């Protein structure tokens, strides 16, 4: 380009004179253009932020004949890495302004985000049900779901017309994230937003292909860990999953009319539910009832995997352990409930617990996996006998069960743990081994192979 300029505008002396005039230096008139350009290159290379000099390429054969050294490669350009307070990398872009963080709602979101990202291990251990497909940590779906959980109140309102039409595996993961990463866990409103269509769109209810039972046909995993007894009750869950039949007092004129009306019976919201987690949060109040669980389990005969982690001992009268009544025949005080204050410690009586578990096994006769983590306080009921000789039917109603999870449910203390705490921890492990031997002896080699998953003692294979 420079040669073209010289050929067009005149000899090289004229060009040098023009360059010197533009540079504002009289001495440049006696210097050539090549010298001026060389000075500019040298000054640019010596500068602090000099760009890489572009050198002309030479054919390898000519380079070898003329013995010209190889051209050095350009220096790699690395963006500056900003470090956070803890030494890790901070997100790209400038930090948020203080005025934005001073708002209470934004400050709360920042704290929740840091808690989700750190994910500090809790003292209590809970394990997800097998077969639940969750996004890989750090993946795009994982990041998006965590972000939705942070702003769930806004997402539930703004995206209420889109949550219902998400793919099934994303809705399963979304409910699991709500149960794991929010303090409020999963409420009825959350389940309605994810599992039911918006009530103000009539097209969802007029089109049979968009009915809830059809859209949720492949929804088989429901993780409600930490929700039961806090923001969700079993009665509310039962009414949501199994809508009540419409009341009709009109008499049908013919059998044909009766057959036509029978098609309007509502189907279950999750017709193919097989994996259900009702694990409790041991750090909060546990307002649960085994009576409600028995009524709810009667509607789930197809359930194969169930988690009852940290549930209290099975009883139908939990508030009557210390209550007594006076017998009109004898005039003596008689225990009101099926379990008294000394039933387990002195009498070794687990009759009520055995009967409750037998009723549960008759309803959930398809169970293959049961998680009883943190239930070591009433684990003797799994092999004990009632007064009539009844025991938990491991060979009949629960003959399909192949795995029972019985971890203590909390992290064992180190060397500073007390003797009583250490002994209680290993007692739960011994009870799990005893349940395994008891079930195998009851089956006597018939039926499916049964194993109990629990902790191992030091040195145990």
181/146 Cα distance (integer angstroms): 8
Q: Cβ contacts of residue 172 below 8 Å, gap of 6+? A: 132, 133, 219, 221, 222, 223
**CB contact at 8 A, 174 and 148:** yes
**CB contact at 8 A, 116 and 149:** yes
The reported pTM is 0.70
Structure tokens at 326: 């006076």
pLDDT in tens, the chain (461 residues): 444 444 444 444 443 444 444 444 455 456 788 888 888 777 755 555 444 455 667 788 888 888 888 877 777 766 555 555 545 566 667 777 776 666 655 555 555 554 444 444 455 566 788 888 889 988 999 999 999 998 899 999 999 889 998 999 999 999 999 998 888 889 999 999 999 998 888 888 788 888 888 999 999 999 999 999 888 999 999 999 998 876 654 555 555 554 444 456 678 999 999 999 999 988 876 778 999 999 999 999 999 999 999 999 999 887 766 566 666 666 666 565 667 666 766 667 788 899 999 999 999 999 999 999 999 999 999 999 877 778 999 999 999 999 999 998 887 765 455 788 788 888 999 999 999 999 999 998 888 999 999 988 876 75
Cα torsion through 179, 213, 272, 182, rounded to 10: 0
Q: Cβ contacts of residue 208 below 8 Å, gap of 6+? A: 214
421/447 Cα distance (integer angstroms): 37
Structure tokens at 219: 């929804």
Q: What is the reported pLDDT for 434?
A: 94
Q: Cβ contacts of residue 412 below 8 Å, gap of 6+? A: 422, 425, 455
3-class secondary structure, 61: helix
3-class secondary structure, 218: coil
Cα torsion through 451, 461, 413, 279, rounded to 10: -20
3-class secondary structure, 310: coil
Point out which residues pair with 410 in neighbouring strands. Answer: 124
Q: What is the reported pLDDT for 393?
A: 92
56/44 Cα distance (integer angstroms): 17
Q: What is the reported pLDDT for 266?
A: 76
Q: Which of 451, 446, 443, 295 is nearest to 369 (CA)?
A: 451
Burial of 345 from C-beta contacts in 10 A (0-12 / 13-18 / 19+): exposed
DSSP 28-51: GGGS-HHHHHHHHHHHHHHSTTPP
* Largest Cα–Cα separation, the chain: 134
Domain boundaries, the chain: 289-461
Q: What is the reported pLDDT for 345?
A: 66
Q: What is the reported pLDDT for 88?
A: 54
Q: What is the reported pLDDT for 44?
A: 59
């Amino acid at each position: 380009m420079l040669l073209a300029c010289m050929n067009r505008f005149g000899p090289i002396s004229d060009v040098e004179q023009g360059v010197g005039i533009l540079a504002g230096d009289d001495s440049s008139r006696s210097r050539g253009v090549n010298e001026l350009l060389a000075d500019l290159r040298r000054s640019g290379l010596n500068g602090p932020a000099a760009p890489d000099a572009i050198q002309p390429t030479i054919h390898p054969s000519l380079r070898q004949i003329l013995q010209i050294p190889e051209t050095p490669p350009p220096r790699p350009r690395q963006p500056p890495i900003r470090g956070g307070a803890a030494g890790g990398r901070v997100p790209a872009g400038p930090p948020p302004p203080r005025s934005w963080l001073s708002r209470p709602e934004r400050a709360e979101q920042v704290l929740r985000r840091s808690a989700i990202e750190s994910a500090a291990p809790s003292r209590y251990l809970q394990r997800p049900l097998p077969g639940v497909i969750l996004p890989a940590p750090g993946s795009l779906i994982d990041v998006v779901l965590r972000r939705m959980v942070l702003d769930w109140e806004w997402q539930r309102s703004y995206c209420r017309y889109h949550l219902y039409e998400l793919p099934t595996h994303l809705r399963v993961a979304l409910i699991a994230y709500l149960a794991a990463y929010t303090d409020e866990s999963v409420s009825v409103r959350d389940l309605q937003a994810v599992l039911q269509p918006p009530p103000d769109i009539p097209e969802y209810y007029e089109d049979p292909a968009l009915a809830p039972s059809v859209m949720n046909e492949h929804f088989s995993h429901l993780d409600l860990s930490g929700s039961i007894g806090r923001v969700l009750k079993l009665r509310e869950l039962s009414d949501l999953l199994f809508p009540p039949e419409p009341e009709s007092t009109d008499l049908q004129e013919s059998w044909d009319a009766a057959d036509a009306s029978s098609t309007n019976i509502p189907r279950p919201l999750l017709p193919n539910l097989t994996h259900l987690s009702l694990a409790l949060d041991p750090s909060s109040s546990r307002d649960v009832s085994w009576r409600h669980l028995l009524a709810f389990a009667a509607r789930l005969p197809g359930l194969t995997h169930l988690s009852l982690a940290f549930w209290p001992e099975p009883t139908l009268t939990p508030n009557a352990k210390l209550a007594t009544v006076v017998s009109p025949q004898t005039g003596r005080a008689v225990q009101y409930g099926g379990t008294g204050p000394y039933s387990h410690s002195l009498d070794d009586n687990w009759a009520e617990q055995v009967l409750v578990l037998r009723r549960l096994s008759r309803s959930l006769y398809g169970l293959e996996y049961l998680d009883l983590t943190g239930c070591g306080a009433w684990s003797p009921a799994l092999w004990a006998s009632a007064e009539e000789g009844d025991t938990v039917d491991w060979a009949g109603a629960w003959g399909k069960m192949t795995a029972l999870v019985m971890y203590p449910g909390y992290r064992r203390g180190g060397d500073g743990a007390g003797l009583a705490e250490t002994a209680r921890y290993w007692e739960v492990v011994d009870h799990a081994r005893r349940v395994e031997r008891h079930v195998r002896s009851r089956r006597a080699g018939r039926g499916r192979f049964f194993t109990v998953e629990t902790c191992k003692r030091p040195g145990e294979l």
